[in-house]
Amino acid sequence: MPDNLPRRQVLRTAGALGLGAAAAGALQTGADAVGTPDKVAAMDAQRGHGRLDIRKDPFGTTPDGQAVDVYTFTNGRVTISMLTWGATIQRVDTPDRRGHTKNISLGFDNLPDYAALSPYFGATVGRYGNRIAKGKFSIDGHAYQIPINNGENALHGGTIGFDKRVWKAKVVQSSSAVGVAFTYVSPDGEMGFPGELTSKVTYTLDKHDNLRIDYHATVTGKPTIQNLTNHVYFNLAGEGSGSIDGHILQLNAPKFTPVDAGLIPTGELTPVAGTPFDFNQPTAIGARLRDDHPQLVIGRGYDHNFVLGKAGADGMRFAARFWEPAAGRTVTVHTSQPGAQFYSGNFLDGTFQGIGNRAYRQGDAFAFETQHFPDSPNQPNFPSTVLRPGEVFTSTTVYTFGTK
């Protein structure tokens, strides 16, 4: 078990999955999953790459008695597990360039750890992802207060955000993709936010190893603010395998939004040229991480929103590509969102272990949260995050898994 995948997890997913031998093969992480490069194509054929399948299993029960399920969907090559708790990506199993499959997403194998310990591992974050200064904002002259949960600011929707709610789930399956549509209705006043917000977030995996996330939100009663994102943490060498310093990042962003000591944007859009924030050419994440740039000192590394390059005619833009040179895995991100928080796992501190029973230490993973800019409700120069009754918010982010 090079992946440290608990044996019972293998049995539950591969054995009980009922995906058939071909697709289940993609779930295995043992020596039989390794092949020389020239055997990989044959192995893909054997595994049935392109065969879409999904199953549902019980995952746990919340203290107030709500059942939480895990949905596991595969295309025979990439396999994703998602929880109804927080519409959370629990596992992402992908092959490396030799065909050796590992889980590359940080997470836990049990619900109590998600509830007690998780720094938003894989979660769908809302109602407002990222920070709101002092938890305060106004819409049309009405002042609102969100619970403070990060220094003197509100982070990721307050003390009980969408990551800690049980979402309704519906399987979506077509001839080209499979996945789950998650829905959560947040009542008027929940966490201090105005208006009843219905969020529908659909995660689908296609035959070309694209995990597509479609966000859809509407509000009734009062205008509100929203900033939905996903907070998956990746280590492309496998979760729990150590530092991501050696991952190579290309980030399509001419500017970033510098922050104050509380990680609230100052309001400036600062060019990245000539700074450690310039990843327009592929560069190792660790190459400048320890530089004395004041913004890196404040963030203890990268914990900043990047202003992404212009979108194409379809509204989508290339945002970033991450590459781990040793195993060769890549993840490429396209999004319709104007920004992305690149977070180099600075606050992981080794105090708990994840799904593979390995401690997660500082810099052992990265998150790339596509989003509107932090604190937009208080920043007149940033694109608006206000959603009014009758309007429909949509956005799309696609993670493409590959090897190089």
Annotated binding site for beta-D-galactose: 130-131, 231-233, 303
From the CB of residue 283, how many other CB atoms can be counted at a distance below 10 Å?
Answer: 15
Single out the residue of 138, 23, 141 nearest to residue 78, CA to CA.
Answer: 23
Instruction: Output 72 or 305, the one with its CB closest to ligand BGC.
Output: 305
How far apart are the C-alpha atoms of 146 and 168, rounded to whole Å? 25
Residue 135 falls in which region: left (phi positive, over 0), alpha (psi -120 to 50) or beta: left
Print the binding letters for residues 264-303 with ligand BGC: x by CB under 6 A, - otherwise.
Answer: ---------------------------------------x
Interacting positions 195-224 with ligand BGC (CB under 6 A)? none
In whole angstroms, the minimum distance from the beta carbon of 208 to ligand BGC comes to: 28
How far apart are the C-alpha atoms of 309 and 314, rounded to whole Å? 14
Interacting positions 73-132 with ligand BGC (CB under 6 A)? 119-120, 130
Instruction: Output 16 or 359, the one with its CB closest to ligand BGC.
Output: 359
Print the binding letters for residues 229-268 with ligand BGC: x by CB under 6 A, - otherwise.
Answer: ----------------------------------x-----
Residue 223, both tokens = 């205008």
The separation between the first and the last C-alpha atoms of the chain, rounded to the nearest angstrom, is: 24
The answer to whether residue 397 forms part of the interface with ligand BGC (CB under 6 A) is no
In whole angstroms, the minimum distance from the beta carbon of 215 to ligand BGC comes to: 17
369 is catalytic: yes
Contact assessment for residue 385 and residue 128, using Cβ atoms and an 8 Å cutoff: yes
Residue 56, both tokens = 């549902």
Selected catalytic residue, list 49, 100, 156, 231: 231
In whole angstroms, the minimum distance from the beta carbon of 332 to ligand BGC comes to: 20
Instruction: Output 238 or 301, the one with its CB closest to ligand BGC.
Output: 301
In whole angstroms, the minimum distance from the beta carbon of 176 to ligand BGC comes to: 32
How far apart are the C-alpha atoms of 7 and 386, rounded to whole Å? 47
Interacting positions 311-370 with ligand BGC (CB under 6 A)? 341, 343, 347, 369
- Provide the annotated binding site: 130-131, 231-233, 303
Instruction: Output 96 or 303, the one with its CB closest to ligand BGC.
Output: 303
In whole angstroms, the minimum distance from the beta carbon of 366 to ligand BGC comes to: 11
Size of the site for ligand BGC (CB under 6 A): 9
In whole angstroms, the minimum distance from the beta carbon of 349 to ligand BGC comes to: 11
In whole angstroms, the minimum distance from the beta carbon of 340 to ligand BGC comes to: 10
Selected catalytic residue, list 190, 196, 239, 369: 369
User: Which residues would be at the binding site for ligand BGC (CB under 6 A)?
Assistant: 119-120, 130, 263, 303, 341, 343, 347, 369
Active site residues: 231, 369
